[in-house]
Amino acid sequence: MRACLYNFAGLLKKQQKIEKSPTVNFRTLVPEDFEELSSSSSSESNRGSSILNLQKKKDVLPPVVSQVTTLLCEAESKATSKDFAKSVELLEKATTLGSACAAAKLGLVYRGGVSDVNPDYPSSAAYYLLALKLIYMIPNEKWDVSLLLEVIAGLSEIFRNQMHRKKDDDIWMTGIRAMRHIESTLQDPAVIKKLRQSDFQKCRAIRIHINYCLAMTAEADQEYDEAIRLYETCRRIGECNFKTANKLVNKSQSKMKELKSKIPKVKPICVSCDYEPKELSDIWKLLVCSKCQVVAACSRECLTTHLATHNKKS
């Protein structure tokens, strides 16, 4: 599956201009929050299991699975012949039938753009999120970890380079909730126990991408202690066999040093009037005494009052 995605990415580099670019509305495409999966996941898992069991009993694929396989092959063929508009149309049909692979390919298409058409990052994020939900709906032991890594890495790239925490809040937080669910699942001992040995490194890479995005979110929200903890998690997971994930491990080291300098080393209470701000944004407005560097003041007047005590001592 992973090789299939790579082949598709290579084909995109050789594409010709298409007459019309497909458009996607993020708010209508993005899946419901992952929280709602907990009640329905068992029934969906049973459905997925029944299909897999049917495959074991007979060589003939179930109708839906066979149709998805055909659509994916045709989409690959159309991409090869440079009919990218048709290829995208076929991938969209496969996605509506529940293909996580097709949704991931569409995420790749919209992230890279098609010929002269500009990339559509909200649509790319929406398709990646849809792929995540489709993956999450099948039993953990049946997950295609390679595909999951492709999706998480693609979503991570969008978050790090094309999205803004505040401006793209709806997309951002939907992605963060999805990532938290995947991260929680990958830390479950019962899930880890069922993983194949070859998937361990991929899971480490997935967790690095996820924790880096979570750290970025905490940093943007000025929750610096939490951001440092999450960057430290990336560092602790350590380098794996995936170049992009390894770069994030190294970046985490630099981020930790940068953020530690921003954490106040004094009590967030005015030394002169005992004002104690409740909001984090107000805490950062406190003025630290330049002489003793152990207390802070809420205003220039309070700081002047405190500095007077230093003058008396001298």
Partners of residue 296 on adjacent β-strands: 270, 288
Nearest CA-CA partner of 212 in 166, 124, 152, 261 = 152
Portion of the chain with pLDDT greater than 90, in percent? 43
Task: Work out the pLDDT band at 89, boundaries 50, 70, 90.
Answer: very high
Helical ranges in the chain per DSSP H: 2-13, 26-29, 37-57, 63-80, 84-96, 100-112, 121-136, 145-161, 169-186, 189-194, 200-220, 224-237, 243-260, 280-283, 300-313
Answer for the pair 68, 94: CB distance below 8 angstroms, yes or no: yes
Of the candidates 175, 158, 162, 176, the one whose C-alpha atom is nearest the C-alpha of residue 218 is: 176
Amino acid letter, 115: S
Residue 33 has pLDDT above 50, yes or no: no
Instruction: Give the start-to-end residue ranges of the domains of the chain.
Output: 267-313
DSSP 79: H
pLDDT at 2: 45
Mean pLDDT along residues 149-173: 93
> Exposed (0-12), middle (13-18) or buried (19+): which is 300, by Cβ within 10 Å?
exposed
Measured CA to CA, the distance from residue 95 to residue 179 in angstroms comes to 20
| Residue 312 binned pLDDT confidence (cut-offs 50, 70, 90) | low
Residue 96 CA, distance from chain mean position: 22
Q: Across residues 76-84, what is the average pLDDT?
A: 85
In our burial notation (b when 16+ CB lie closer than 10 A, e otherwise), range 253-268 reads eebbeebeeeeeeeeb
All residues at 6 or more sequence positions from 309 whose CB lies less than 8 Å from its CB, including other chains: none
Q: Could you read off the pLDDT of 195-240 as tens digits, one per residue? A: 887 899 999 999 999 999 999 999 999 888 899 999 999 999 998 9
Residue 224 corresponds to which tokens in the numbers above?
A: 């610096």
Q: Which residues pair with 270 in a beta bridge?
A: 296
Question: What distance in Å separates the CA atoms of residue 92 and residue 22, rounded to the nearest whole number?
Answer: 10
pLDDT band at 29 (very low <50, low <70, confident <90, very high): very low
Q: Which of 48-57, 73-82, 207-216, 218-227 has the highest mean pLDDT?
A: 207-216
Is the pLDDT confidence value at 12 over 90?
no
DSSP state of 34: G
Q: How many CB atoms lie within 10 A of CB 140?
A: 16
Stretch 80-99: mean pLDDT: 89
